[in-house]
Chains A and B, each alone.
Chain A
Amino acid sequence: MSTLLTIDNVHSFYGKIEALKGISLEVRQGEIVALLGSNGAGKSTTLKTISGLVRPGKGDILLNGKSIVGLPPHQIVEAGIIHVPEGRRIFAGLTVRENLELGGFTQKKKKDVIAAGIEQAFSMFPRLKERSTQLGGTLSGGEQQMLAICRGLMARPKLLMLDEPSMGLAPIIVQEIMHIIREINKQGTTILLIEQNAKAALRLAHRGYVLETGRIVMENTAEVLRGDQSIVKAYLGA
């Protein structure tokens, strides 16, 4: 498996506070990688740094061997990295269809690509099709998450980054979302996933990294992490 994304010794700051203190990780083509850790460990900051919303103070980020550090977010999207932000951030005042169209914003004149993407989203989540003319804000939490994921897929990303897709959702919906994430991955999209719900994440992921106050303290295959008692105690709420 070739490496899709490499993060090399990245430091990120919020003002004077160092949120990432030298993170290195890699995501290989076709993988699902989980980032685990407690609140404030730097998981979301890692994603924001990759997508260009936060600029790293030091270090390098490579996509397919090419540095993307310092590129503005919209160019990083065009390069193939999509960030589905925490709390879904769908456009509540726009319809489901318009939300999806937004996801295809970088496809510019390719109307057929956008139409195909919307079709794909609707076949993956028939419920979104039923509600295509409804305002995003009127959807349930689970439906909003599905919409946010589909919106991210509209840009045909090489790497899809999901920030806590299970947050605030009923367990049964969480299962459904996890199932969909696996499906998306099987269809060829590489996924970098943040989850508080570490158990669910490790069932899904191939590999995982554990973050603690801005540093990576452990990395291994999901299987090993699942079996590690200290992790289970500290993060998985066993």
Chain B
Amino acid sequence: MNPLGKKLSIILSLVVACCLPFLTNNYWLDVATLALFYIVLAQGLNVVVGFAGLLDLGYAAFFAVGAYTTGILMTVYQWSFWLTLPVSMAIAAVVGVIIGAPTLRLRSDYLAIVTLGFGEIIRILAINLDITGSASGIYGIPRPSIGSYMLAGQMDFYYLILIIAILAVLAVKRLGSSRIGRAWMYIREDEDAAEAMGINRIKMKLLAYSIGAVIGSLGGSVFAVKMSAIAPLSFSFTQSIMILLAVVLGGLGSIPGVVLGAVLVIALPELLRSVEDWRYLIFGVALVAMMLFRPQGLWPARYDTGKDSAHEADTLRTEGSDRDVQLDSEKCNA
């Protein structure tokens, strides 16, 4: 696509996103809001999995950290929503480092298993701790307000998360083309060679986890005030997988791809509602087909173009697709 076409399509999709509340009913507005949440989360995970190549199966943990931090600070300590944001981001960054540090030496499958474990730890902590309201979660989270205007309606939250999503996309885009972004890419492509070229592997990996965590927690904080109640159920393993699915479906490391992937992961099951019980089966089959015929994702990053790219890139892709096939079968069983 030429630069002009690119600009036009970005402006067009922004205009559509801004006008959407006036064009549709509450039901679809809710679906769109959820899709925007997924865009934020998937972009955060894109930093970890897409840029740095660290497979994370417990990403919902950061989503939970954001949501619970905001929930607890607002209900127990009566903080303003906006003040909770920096706190939950800071906590998420620290949690990111805590999860990242012991996994630094691990690669591929082993890394995936450890991150999965951490995701479960956070969820089970939330179920068992008193401060997180145990299994019933936290409810009665107050609505945020800007000055005297209280954000309460569906449309308010739609615009709030739209702004966060735009910020997340911009931030990830800038990061991707920065020196840090290049360092992540080098680590993803060949960790040893990157290290031999003078990249501080440990620092860069921890940074990827932290930044991914911060973006995820931001989504979580907004989620908490939007739903006004949160429970451990929202941060299950399936949630992590759905976010990962959005990233892989769209195209690892590709920013427009991940946006598209997030929208599809939310919108497709809704569109298929007419076929009732069959919808997840059809969704699953569509995903399997997609991974067979277009394993690099719907809108792949520039580097994963066709067969001429490297062996490493191929392995990464096949690994990704294998996982999705597995996860489809899980979904079908569910």
A contacts, CB < 8 Å to B: 51, 53, 72-74, 77-78, 82-83, 85, 89-94, 98, 101-103, 105-106, 108, 135-138, 151, 155
Could you tell me the distance between the alpha carbons of A185 and B53 in the complex, rounded to whole angstroms? 37
Does residue B322 face the partner (Cβ distance < 8 Å to A)?
no
- 10 closest A-B pairs (Cβ-Cβ)? A92-B310, A77-B198, A137-B310, A89-B193, A106-B198, A91-B189, A93-B303, A74-B200, A93-B313, A73-B195
Give A89 Cβ to nearest chain B Cβ, in Å: 4
Instruction: Pick the contact of B198: A90, A138, A155 (CB < 8 A).
Output: A155
Given contacts A93-B309, A135-B310, A137-B309, contact A85 B193 (CB under 8 A): yes
- 1/0 per residue, CB under 8 A from A, across B156-193: the answer is 00000000000000000000000100110110011011
Residues of B contacting A: mostly: helix
Could you tell me the distance between the alpha carbons of A105 and B200 in the complex, rounded to whole angstroms? 10
Q: Which residues of A contact B189 (CB under 8 A)?
A: 91-94
Total B residues in contact with A, Cβ cutoff 8 Å: 26
B310 (CB) vs chain A CBs: closest residue: A92
Scan residues 262-317 of chain B and give those whose CB is less than 8 A from a CB of chain A: 303-304, 308-313
Instruction: Pick the contact of B192: A85, A90, A136 (CB < 8 A).
Output: A85
Q: Which residues of B contact A72 (CB under 8 A)?
A: 200, 202
Give B72 Cβ to nearest chain A Cβ, in Å: 39
Q: Which residues of B contact A103 (CB under 8 A)?
A: 197
A79 (CB) vs chain B CBs: closest residue: B198
Do A53 and B196 touch across chains, with their CB atoms under 8 A apart?
A: yes
Give A150 Cβ to nearest chain B Cβ, in Å: 12
Q: Which residues of B contact A91 (CB under 8 A)?
A: 185-186, 189-190, 193, 310
Give B329 Cβ to nearest chain A Cβ, in Å: 30
Do A137 and B200 touch across chains, with their CB atoms under 8 A apart?
A: no
Most buried by B among A83, A103, A105: A105
Give A84 Cβ to nearest chain B Cβ, in Å: 8
- 24 pairs of residues in contact across A and B, judged by CB atoms under 8 Å: A53-B192, A53-B195, A77-B196, A77-B197, A77-B198, A78-B198, A85-B196, A89-B192, A92-B189, A92-B313, A102-B197, A105-B179, A105-B182, A105-B183, A105-B199, A108-B179, A135-B303, A135-B308, A135-B309, A136-B310, A137-B309, A137-B311, A155-B197, A155-B198
Could you tell me the distance between the alpha carbons of A82 and B186 in the complex, rounded to whole angstroms? 16
Does residue B143 face the partner (Cβ distance < 8 Å to A)?
no
Instruction: Pick the contact of A137: B196, B197, B308 (CB < 8 A).
Output: B308
